[in-house]
């Protein structure tokens, strides 16, 4: 199909910390804008601000690793203080390096089966 790797990250936002979470999200989106191989970086929050979904799509595994290094260096501690990952579903064909980098988040992997993308 293609070499894109993408995921849906489901988060529980810490009670009473919605505003801090939004500020961090803005900072993270700004940083991801500087990653040309990050193709989608979309955050969605529910009405009461307790749950958030993040959809991210990368051109390839190298792009995932560029993002993961930046996340680890700049955002990981603050992010995990403000939100708990409740589920991570990864799609595409991540290589071993990507799978090792994502292992702490206990992802579920779905491999390509068929279809198309326009």
5-110: which CATH topology?
Alpha-Beta Plaits (3.30.70)
For strands 108-110 and 83-92, give the pairing. parallel
Q: List the domain boundaries for the chain.
A: 5-110
Residue 98 scores a pLDDT above 80: yes
pLDDT at res. 1: 52
18-65 pLDDT, tens per residue? 999 999 999 999 999 999 999 999 999 999 999 999 999 999 999 999
Written as six digits, the tokens of 99 are 């799978």
6-18 pLDDT, tens per residue? 999 999 999 999 9
Written as six digits, the tokens of 60 are 């390839």
- The helix/strand/coil state of 115 is coil
């Amino acid at each position: 199909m293609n070499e894109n790797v993408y995921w849906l990250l489901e988060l529980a936002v810490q009670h009473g910390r919605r505003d801090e979470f939004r500020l961090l999200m803005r900072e993270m989106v700004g940083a991801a804008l500087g990653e040309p191989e990050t193709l989608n970086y979309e955050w969605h929050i529910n009405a009461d601000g307790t749950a958030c979904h993040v959809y991210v799509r990368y051109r390839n595994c190298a792009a995932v690793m560029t993002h993961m290094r930046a996340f680890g260096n700049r955002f990981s501690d603050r992010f995990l203080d403000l939100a708990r990952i409740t589920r991570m579903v990864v799609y595409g064909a991540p290589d071993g390096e990507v799978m090792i980098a994502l292992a702490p988040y206990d992802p579920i992997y779905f491999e390509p089966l068929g279809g198309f993308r326009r």
